[in-house]
Amino acid sequence: MLIGIDASRAVAAERTGTENYCLHLIRALVELGSAHRFRLYLNEPPTDDALPCGDGVEWRLIPFPRLWTHLRLGWEVTLRPPDVLYVPSHVIPLIHPRRSVATVHDLGYLYYPEAHTRWSRWYLGWSTRHNARASRRVIVDSLATRDDLVRWYGVDPAKTVVAYPAGVRDLAPVADPDKIASVRRRYDTGERYVLYVGTLQPRKNLETLVRAFAQLARRSLLPRDTRLVLAGRRGWLTEELDAAIAASGCAERIVLPGYVAGEDLATLLSGALAFVMPSWYEGFGLPVLEAMACGTPVVCSRAASLPEVAGDAALLFDPADEGGLAAALARLAAEPALRAELALRGLRRARAFTWERCAEIVLATLEEVASEGARGT
């Protein structure tokens, strides 16, 4: 069977959620599916050696500056169709093979439209509906996303397949004090810090995190040398975040080091007092698992899929409850035994999610769709 995969998101220079999903799932699919051939469609050459290559894997580089998916990729898969087309992190081309499958990650734009431009809301809504219609099966990251598709777009639950992703591969606790000290110096985190990792954008609810941290600072409920580190590239509409930092009264204790990846990410997570995911909405929330895999205590909101992902291995709060978040962080700072217990639970929880298991479910779905085509159904 020839499996075509839109790998354009996997070759992004700075990978976060959906880009990491695309890369690590492709790697796991290739490792698992040695009986099949894979054709990876790329819009630009990879910037590193993370994408699989070799026997059974063909890269099809299709340089095209605009409308790459709907014009160039659509033309390619029409002229030389694979047995099944899989789109893990974007949208199925308008002209596509009859046997196509896509992953829908979340419907956050419906819950928090103010976090998106009018154009972005329209495109996200159109692309989600298109994926739901064009896919023989719709892969989803969580039961929460499946329920959203059923609720908002009337998708038949039988058409959906839940395949839980995992975090960045090979993340593990870093115990080397010299490495931790070096990364702390490089990113100016200080000895004690609360950490967020992800894109800086409105739906991540970072203003609430800043205000909660400022509340703790004013009440001296955190040691004076504790910093708040917001690691990630800037998205759009970050003016409110900048304003919240400026008004916090502790701006000198809030650090924005930019994008962090690779070994530095594992070290930064391992050295943190706590990891916080305060989002208004997440289709899954990969950084939660990444923090747990590094033995970092996690505090996250009760929004959408996050309780499903975190299980009993995190402290949860309502995303609108600044005081609840502040109380959770104060508990972690004051109770070493709680930090140790959450770290242990988190390590166990992270091991329950693997790319191998995710790939098994996705590959079985692709095989099923391809076989339906072979039978003419």
Point out which residues pair with 130 in neighbouring strands.
none
Q: Are residues 80 and 121 in the same domain?
A: yes
Nearest alpha carbon to residue 274 among 221, 331, 324, 345: 331
Query: What is the pLDDT, as a whole number, of residue 374?
Result: 57
For residue 138, the number of C-alpha atoms closer than 13 Å in the C-beta half-sphere is: 30
Asked if residue 171 belongs to a domain, the reply is no
Q: Are residues 25 and 162 in the same domain?
A: yes
> Is pTM beyond 0.95 here?
no
Query: What is the pLDDT, as a whole number, of residue 116?
Result: 81
In eight-state DSSP terms, residue 73 is I
C-alpha 111/C-alpha 151 separation (Å) is: 12
Q: What is the CATH number of the domain that holds 307?
A: 3.40.50.2000
CA-based max dimension of the chain: 68
Q: Are residues 225 and 290 in the same domain?
A: yes
Q: Are residues 131 and 236 in the same domain?
A: no
Q: Are residues 224 and 338 in the same domain?
A: yes
Q: Which two tokens stand for residue 243?
A: 């304003």
Asked if residue 29 belongs to a domain, the reply is yes
Asked if residue 143 belongs to a domain, the reply is yes
Query: What is the pLDDT, as a whole number, of residue 26?
Result: 96
Query: What is the pLDDT, as a whole number, of residue 373?
Result: 62
Q: Are residues 23 and 85 in the same domain?
A: yes
Q: Are residues 188 and 286 in the same domain?
A: yes
Asked if residue 323 belongs to a domain, the reply is yes
In the predicted model, residues of the chain with pLDDT beneath 50 are 376
CB 111 within 8 A of CB 309: no
Q: Are residues 61 and 138 in the same domain?
A: yes
Q: Are residues 120 and 101 in the same domain?
A: yes
Q: Give the H or E element holding residue 277.
A: strand 274-277
Query: What is the pLDDT, as a whole number, of residue 46?
Result: 86
Asked if residue 172 belongs to a domain, the reply is no
Query: What is the pLDDT, as a whole number, of residue 283?
Result: 87
Query: What is the pLDDT, as a whole number, of residue 86?
Result: 98
Find the domain containing 220 and state its range.
177-351
C-alpha 260/C-alpha 342 separation (Å) is: 24
Query: What is the pLDDT, as a whole number, of residue 170?
Result: 78
Q: Are residues 152 and 225 in the same domain?
A: no
* Chain Cα centroid distance, residue 183: 23
Asked if residue 52 belongs to a domain, the reply is yes
C-alpha 148/C-alpha 19 separation (Å) is: 22
Give residue for tokens 């894979």: 38
Nearest alpha carbon to residue 8 among 40, 53, 50: 40
Number of structural domains (the chain) is 2
For residue 15, the number of C-alpha atoms closer than 13 Å in the C-beta half-sphere is: 26
Q: Are residues 28 and 52 in the same domain?
A: yes
Q: Are residues 76 and 216 in the same domain?
A: no
Asked if residue 289 belongs to a domain, the reply is yes
